[in-house]
Amino acid sequence: DAKTTQPTSMDCAEGRAANLPCNHSTISGNEYVYWYRQIHSQGPQYIIHGLKNNETNEMASLIITEDRKSSTLILPHATLRDTAVYYCIVRVQFSTNNDMRFGAGTRLTVKP
Amino acid sequence: DADVTQTPRNRITKTGKRIMLECSQTKGHDRMYWYRQDPGLGLRLIYYSFDVKDINKGEISDGYSVSRQAQAKFSLSLESAIPNQTALYFCATSDDRGYGYTFGSGTRLTVV
């Protein structure tokens, strides 16, 4: 599976948009981009996923570049409760192997 | 009730003891997983099961065993606990599409 590269940490002001980048330069055509987050020591929480089109849900937006080698997770109006570690993962859909691999992620700190 | 329930939430045990961590889910999913998280690190896969008769080793299965008692239940055992198995353990479930994993709240295990 393709590996991902994320910054170790980022800060964001409360109320502003948080833009979290992820590089996945070796992504294959059938691999999706998934984002999860982990607040403190809770279980990770699914946020969003996409293949090549931009996606939006009630939590966030996912912007995938045309060449699919990178993506950005956008939290439009960050709150203090969005402080968490954010994981970017690439994997195939309908996988017969387990390949949802969580790396170190990006620690986002939202500041008042 | 939570979709994925892990028991116990916290456990302190002595070196050499056998311990079982339990997980149950109400999502109706076939796929279940056990992950381990050490401080400051991402999650690592211990075992996964795609149905009751299918059990697979993950990245770090040595020293662990699992039992899939039913579609909804997946238990993790440490046959002879050692201090470096001190960690946060998460159970998760997903449907066959693998869109989004649902995680439990975790079990914090300390081996002294």
**pLDDT for residue B99 is more than 90:** no
Of residues B40, B58, B99, nearest to A98 (C-beta): B58
Whether residue A69 lies within 8 A of chain B, CB to CB, comes out as no
Contacts of A81 (CB under 8 A, 6+ apart): A39, A110
What secondary structure does DSSP assign to B3-67, as a single string?
SEEEE-SEEEE-TT--EEEEEEESS--SEEEEEEE-TTS-EEEEEEEEETTEEEE-TT-TTEEEE
Give the pLDDT confidence score for residue B2 in this predicted structure: 79
- B81/B62 Cα distance (integer angstroms): 11
> Per-residue pLDDT averaged across B41-47, rounded?
90
In the structure, what pLDDT confidence band is assigned to residue A3 with cuts at 50, 70 and 90?
A: confident
**Which A positions 79-108 lie with beta carbon below 8 A of chain B?**
87, 91, 93-96, 98, 100-105
pLDDT at A2 over 60: no
pLDDT reported for residue B11: 97
Residue B44 to residue B91: CA distance in whole angstroms: 11
Q: Do B48 and A36 touch (CB under 8 A)?
A: no
How many CB atoms lie under 10 A from the CB of residue B74? 28
Residue B35: list chain A partners with CB under 8 A: 102
pLDDT score for B95: 84
For an interface test with B, which of A37, A100, A107 has the most B Cβ atoms less than 10 Å from its Cβ? A100
- Look up residue A85 and give its two tokens: 């570690």
Q: Kindly tell me if the per-residue pLDDT of A97 is higher than 70.
A: no
CB–CB of A41 and B108 under 8 A?
Answer: yes
Q: Tell me if chain A has a CB within 8 Å of the CB of B98.
A: yes
Testing the interface with B: which of A9, A36, A92, A98 to mutate, by most B Cβ within 10 A?
A: A98
* Angle (CA) A19 A21 A22, round 5°: 155
Q: Annotate A4-54 with DSSP letters as a single string.
A: -B--SEEEEETTS-EEEEEE-TT--TTEEEEEEEE-TTSPPEEEEEESSS-
Say which range, A30-39, A98-107, B30-39, B54-63, has the weakest mean pLDDT.
A98-107
Q: How confident is the model at residue A12 (pLDDT cuts 50, 70, 90)?
A: very high
pLDDT, tens digit, 9 for 90 and up, residues A23-81: 999 998 888 999 999 998 899 999 999 999 899 999 999 999 999 999 999 999 999 99
pLDDT class for B4, splitting at 50, 70, 90? very high
> Which pLDDT does position A100 carry in this prediction?
79
One-letter amino acid of A13: A
Least CB-CB distance to B98: which of A94, A104, A105?
A94
Please report the pLDDT score of residue A104 as a whole number: 86
